[in-house]
Structure 1
Amino acid sequence: MLAEIITIGDEILIGQIVDTNSAWMAKELNAIGIKVKQITSVSDDADHIIEALSQAEKRAQVILITGGLGPTKDDITKFTLARYFKMEMRRDAAVLAHVEEIFRKFNRPMIESNRKQADVPDGCTVIQNQNGTAPCMWFDHEDRIIVSMPGVPFEMMYLMEEEILPRLKKAFKLPVIYHKTILTANLGESFLAQQIESIEDSLPSSIKLAYLPKLGQVRLRLSTSGADEAKLKAEVEVYAQQIIEKIRPYVVVEDDIALEKAILDIMEKKGLTLSTAESCTGGYIAHLITQHPGCSTVYAGGAVAYSYELKESVLGVKAETLAKYGAVSEQTVIEMAAGAKTHFKTDYSVAVSGIAGPDGGTEDKPVGTVWIAVANKDGVVSKQFSFGNKRVQNIERSAIAALTMILKLLKEDAN
């Protein structure tokens, strides 16, 4: 079963917003056994929308559309769909009542453009949007299903979870699509491929291996599909364990989760706590950690200390250390990590100080020089890194390197 996603809006094509809808929808479709064949973004132009829809119908049985359902003149999706399906427009009484209730609830005046939200192509099945005024429209067309949803993410997500996915599961006999993900760190993609080449060559045609590299990490994803979920899992697990055995020192976790989430899970299980002391990363490590629900059971807090004064007053770095060695040094970052562990009363702490760039580098400390230290009950370990001259990449690389050092120390402590 193949699907195609079409996102509509000039704001996507000019880079004003990032299309997060498609990634989320593709993941949810995959989970119920529907593979996404293609994702297409088109402008607020009727001819472009019609062309995209026409081509999509040649490739997929399910077509999901988001965007262009608002009350303004540039929101042309439903009128374009009426033209495509050769349908007249009608005003849906239930949708109109819903819109009126929303405006009543918020004590806002209602104008004709708001009432037009209830206009839909005659012949579609209307699905009420409980989180907004724009209705969802379901079309059955020549054994294809076409669904048009609002582009507002939380409205689309609600409709997908509560209405569209259950209806698709009922409409089709869907296969099981099974993925097994292995998260690795500290080994590049090409070296990783070399290590597991013989295993990859032995994979049956029904199992595909994908390499998904990210700064400092590579996800290995084994994928297969079929009718018997237990059998699929058992088949994939055989090869997954062969891979894990071959590259065990570099395996972080056997799951499709972020590196920081893997660390949080390990520390929560062991009852350990963590704090951060950041300079050049500006709180990015704390951001990665705190985006995960439940992180407070592990993460106590941290400090973003750029100035010498804050490094001294908050983290306890000695003035003479800063004067003699500078902020970007092994000595300073060790004292930052030890100070954070003491100040925040945690089992582990991580500290980062470096020159993110694009300026600020010197001959002996060029842009991209970063020192990282991790402290625990046994002391402090530190390491110097030399990244590039791109500020954003240096911040991201520093964060991943810091997390990897925490993970390594956690594993060593477990042995």
Structure 2
Amino acid sequence: MNKIDNNAAVLRTAEIITIGDELLNGQVVDTNSAWIAQHLGALHISVVHITSISDKPKAIQEALRQAEERADVIIMTGGLGPTRDDITKAAVAAYFGTTLIRNETVLAHVEGIFRRTGRKHMPAMNIGQADVLANATVLFNDVGTAPGMAVERNDKYFAFLPGVPFEMKFLMENRVLPMLHGMHKNDVFVYNTYLLTVGIGESHLAQQIADIEDTLPPFITLAYLPRIGMVRLRFTSEGTDMAYLTSVTNSFKQQVVERLKEYIVSVDNVSFEEVLVQAFTTAGITLSTAESCTGGAISAQITAVPGASQMFHGAAVVYSNQAKMDILGVSLDTLTQYGAVSECTVKEMAEGAKRVFGTDYAIATSGIAGPSGGTETKPVGTVCIAVAGKSETKAQTFHFKNDRTINIERTVMAGLTILWDMLK
């Protein structure tokens, strides 16, 4: 794999294999696969299978055998560290019938990392990180000690990467994706386009556009990607004429936009939070939050969007009644008469946040997320949300279920939806 074969086979499909018992027992969530799949999609390479396997040589070799049968590109992450449970290289060497050799450039890099951290002696186990497959191209890892490796066999392309997300991303962006782009020859194009809807359930949405979906040609598929409070639609088309694919797919997308216009939030592949940040920034208006039961979850989602500093001023997490009074100016009479979980209280919280942070809008939440704390009149899942705008404050009470995590997610989404409706 030292040079690109311009007559290489068409690269159309990929398989991602993640290694680690921690993935299988739930200690670590696999975020690598989603990230890799998105970036392969940009090259029109479709992921056909994602597999998580244990740190066992037989599992690794069997996963590679199956992947090689059904995919053109195989990307494996994990098991390249220095400890005894990192056995990927040995298992892969056996699979390819090759050996491991020591790469002096990688060894010098690993030793340099230890020197820069002020440690005089590098553990002997780290020397083994410089051992690479004899038949591989080394994917040099500038940001870590474990190099990646790339192998070509029978017009199949293999990349072996560390499982640490920031190291994997560096190697994908700087080594693997450029390599695949240079090798990539595909006479079939894939076009994806998206819609984001809020305020309509998946089944109701599908019912409203069933006649449009029935008329889609065979080369266009429509996928429903639901989340709490929203549904993303993805139109995917495949063919040899990209201009034609784009034109026809967008014409069907426009039919759906016209049918669902009151629920359409975005016609791009963006999150609801990104839409809100952009809308506020474009309009030159600002937002703050006053959160009790959501514990800062709303502000966290807003501030995760790049550029949020242009429209978001601040947040107050006010769990106790005293904090609601001291920070936001909620009156003792309101709390005594109506309680913390009431529309009257969240209205005062939202208006207090507007005042304290000097914003045009504010969201406030207060509720009983669970699993305990409910009463006969206010059971677990009771949540009050208010949004204070430029000229009015709206409040609404919701009755969710008993799952704390889902109750918080629903509250966040409900608050953002009320904000969006008021903004419209």
When normalised by structure 2's length, the TM-score is 0.95
Aligned residues: 411
Q: Does 1:111 align with 2:123?
A: yes
State the AA in 1 paired with 2:43. Answer: I
Q: 2:79 aligns with which of 46, 63, 68?
A: 68
> Mapping of 1:322-333 within 5 angstroms?
322-333=335-346
Look up the SS of the partner of 1:248 in the other structure: coil
What's 1:303 paired with? Answer: 316
What's 2:283 paired with? Answer: 270
Q: 2:105 aligns with which of 87, 94, 107?
A: 94
Task: Output the CA distance in 2 between the equivalents of 1:105 and 1:225.
Answer: 50
Q: Does 1:409 align with 2:422?
A: yes
Task: Output the CA distance in 1 between the equivalents of 2:92 and 2:384.
Answer: 57
State the AA in 1 paired with 2:138. Answer: V
Q: Does 1:366 align with 2:379?
A: yes
What's 1:133 paired with? Answer: 145
Q: Does 1:9 align with 2:23?
A: no
Task: Output the CA distance in 1 between the equivalents of 2:409 and 2:115.
Answer: 47
Once the 2 structures are TM-superposed, how far is the Cα of residue 318 of structure 1 from its aligned partner?
1.2
Q: 2:36 aligns with which of 12, 22, 25?
A: 25
State the AA in 2 paired with 1:66. Answer: T
In structure 1, list runs of 5 or more residues that go unmatched. Answer: none
CA-to-partner distance for each residue in 1:83-116, whole Å, 9 max, x for gaps? 1111122111221222222222223212332211
What's 2:261 paired with? Answer: 248
What's 1:396 paired with? Answer: 409
What's 2:195 paired with? Answer: 182
Look up the SS of the partner of 1:182 in the other structure: strand
Q: Which moved more, 1:107-116 or 1:333-342?
A: 107-116
Q: Does 1:143 align with 2:194?
A: no
In structure 2, list runs of 5 or more residues that go unmatched. Answer: 1-11
CA pair 161-228 structure 1, distance change in 2 beyond 3 A: farther
Once the 2 structures are TM-superposed, how far is the Cα of residue 255 of structure 1 from its aligned partner?
1.7
State the AA in 2 paired with 1:182. Answer: L
Once the 2 structures are TM-superposed, how far is the Cα of residue 7 of structure 1 from its aligned partner?
0.7
What's 2:5 paired with? Answer: none
CA contact (8 A) 2:141 2:167 kept: yes
What's 1:121 paired with? Answer: 133
Task: Output the CA distance in 1 between the equivalents of 2:39 and 2:304.
Answer: 21
CA-to-partner distance for each residue in 1:237-280, whole Å, 9 max, x for gaps? 11111101111111111122221211111000000100101111
Q: 2:45 aligns with which of 30, 34, 49?
A: 34
Look up the SS of the partner of 2:269 in the other structure: coil
Look up the SS of the partner of 1:275 in the other structure: strand
State the AA in 2 paired with 1:53. Answer: L
Task: Output the CA distance in 1 between the equivalents of 2:326 and 2:311.
Answer: 24
CA-to-partner distance for each residue in 1:115-145, whole Å, 9 max, x for gaps? 1111112111112111111111111111111
State the AA in 1 paired with 2:160. Answer: S
What's 1:172 paired with? Answer: 184
What's 2:239 paired with? Answer: 226
What's 2:7 paired with? Answer: none
Task: Output the CA distance in 1 between the equivalents of 2:133 and 2:252.
Answer: 51
Task: Output the CA distance in 2 between the equivalents of 1:159 and 1:304.
Answer: 39
Once the 2 structures are TM-superposed, how far is the Cα of residue 227 of structure 1 from its aligned partner?
4.2
Look up the SS of the partner of 2:328 in the other structure: coil
State the AA in 2 paired with 1:94. Answer: T
CA contact (8 A) 1:4 1:36 kept: yes
State the AA in 2 paired with 1:343. Answer: V
Once the 2 structures are TM-superposed, how far is the Cα of residue 172 of structure 1 from its aligned partner?
2.1
What's 2:6 paired with? Answer: none
State the AA in 1 paired with 2:407. Answer: N
Look up the SS of the partner of 1:276 in the other structure: strand
Task: Output the CA distance in 2 between the equivalents of 1:351 and 1:179.
Answer: 37
Q: 1:378 aligns with which of 364, 372, 391?
A: 391
Q: 2:175 aligns with which of 153, 160, 163?
A: 163
CA contact (8 A) 1:277 1:350 kept: yes
Q: Which moved more, 1:121-130 or 1:28-37?
A: 121-130
When normalised by structure 1's length, the TM-score is 0.97
What's 1:353 paired with? Answer: 366
CA contact (8 A) 1:32 1:176 kept: no
